[in-house]
């Protein structure tokens, strides 16, 4: 029907969303070290453990039934690695077996990612348990023409939904990392209420460490 407004649906997807999140991660966040490990790692290890171990969740946005974006969060950044090692040792063994056949850079990426998590836990602000891990919006739905015509910001809707989920889990703030030179993400999170705690080298690049309240501050 001409002139009909698109319908946005934002859903907490759980395990059913792991494959979609992995595909979107691969497509939209090419600078992430995890992306280099491939879609099998993202779907079968990273997102499967995140959801399967009850450490976080995936939120998907659909516009008129079409996948438009995703955001993932955890309420338990600190125990993520240790819980995976304790409860999914067989999965980690499979990862090690896969890595054996891959170039050394893959092993370096895994070690680098583990060190990043450990370093994050020692940084100022590490007392904050909630974290937004990954987020992205499909190109078509970040087109200013689409946003103007529909009145829909998929990005803002995803962030609000994730804030509500973390707040419901008892987290008053979430932490997140952005590339220091990523104008869009930094502007987006700042306008949503985030403040920068520090900047520094993370994943071999200059990153901002931001903290975002999950509930409206008075």
Ligand X SMILES: CC(C)(COP(=O)(O)OP(=O)(O)OC[C@H]1O[C@@H](n2cnc3c(N)ncnc32)[C@H](O)[C@@H]1OP(=O)(O)O)[C@@H](O)C(=O)NCCC(=O)NCCS
Residues that bind ligand X (CB under 6 A): 28-29, 135-137, 142, 147, 153-156, 178, 182-185, 187-188, 191
Q: CB within 8 A of 11, min separation 6: which ones? A: 17, 59, 60, 62
Nearest distance, CB of residue 89 and ligand X, angstroms: 31
Q: Report helix, strand or coil for 116.
A: helix
- Name every residue whose Cβ is closer than 8 Å to that of residue 168 and which is 6 or more positions away in sequence: none
Would you say 93 or 199 has its CB closer to ligand X? 199
CB nearer ligand X, residue 74 or residue 95: 74
The CB-of-25 to ligand X minimum distance in angstroms stands at 9
Measured from the CB atom, is 108 or 187 closer to ligand X?
187
Exposure letters 79-108 (e unless 16+ CB within 10 A, then b): ebeeebeeebeebeeebeebbeeeeeebee
Q: How far is the CB of 136 from ligand X (least distance, A)?
A: 4
Of 95 and 173, which has the nearer Cβ to ligand X? 173
Q: How far is the CB of 181 from ligand X (least distance, A)?
A: 11
Give the Cα separation of 55 and 171 in Å (integer).
Answer: 13
Q: With respect to ligand X, which residue has the nearer C-beta, 156 or 197?
A: 156
Nearest distance, CB of residue 33 and ligand X, angstroms:
14
When the beta carbons of 154 and 161 are compared against ligand X, the nearer one is: 154
Nearest approach in angstroms of CB 107 to ligand X is 25
Q: Say which residue the tokens 């009909």 belong to.
A: 4
Q: What is the 3-state secondary structure of 149-214? A: HHCCCHHHHHHHHHHHHHHHCCCCEEEEEEECCCHHHHHHHHHCCCEEEEEEEECCEEEEEEEEEC
């Amino acid at each position: 029907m001409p002139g009909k407004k698109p319908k946005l649906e934002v859903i907490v997807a759980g395990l059913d969303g792991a494959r979609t999140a992995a595909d979107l991660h691969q497509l939209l966040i090419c600078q992430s070290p995890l992306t280099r490990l491939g879609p099998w790692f993202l779907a079968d290890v990273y997102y499967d453990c995140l959801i399967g171990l009850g450490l976080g969740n995936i939120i998907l946005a659909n516009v008129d039934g079409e996948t438009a974006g995703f955001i993932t969060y955890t309420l338990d950044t600190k125990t993520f690695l240790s819980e995976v090692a304790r409860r999914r040792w067989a999965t980690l063994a499979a990862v090690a077996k896969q890595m054996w056949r891959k170039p050394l850079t893959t092993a370096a990426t895994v070690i680098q990612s583990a060190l990043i998590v450990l370093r994050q836990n020692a940084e100022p602000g590490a007392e904050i348990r909630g974290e937004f891990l990954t987020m992205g919006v499909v190109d078509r739905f970040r087109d200013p023409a689409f946003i103007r015509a529909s009145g829909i910001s998929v990005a803002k809707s995803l962030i609000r939904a994730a804030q509500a989920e973390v707040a419901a889990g008892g987290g008053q703030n979430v932490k997140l990392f952005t590339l220091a030179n990523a104008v869009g993400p930094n502007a987006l999170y700042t306008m949503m209420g985030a403040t920068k705690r520090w900047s520094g080298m993370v994943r071999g690049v200059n990153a901002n460490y931001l903290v975002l309240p999950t509930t409206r501050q008075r």
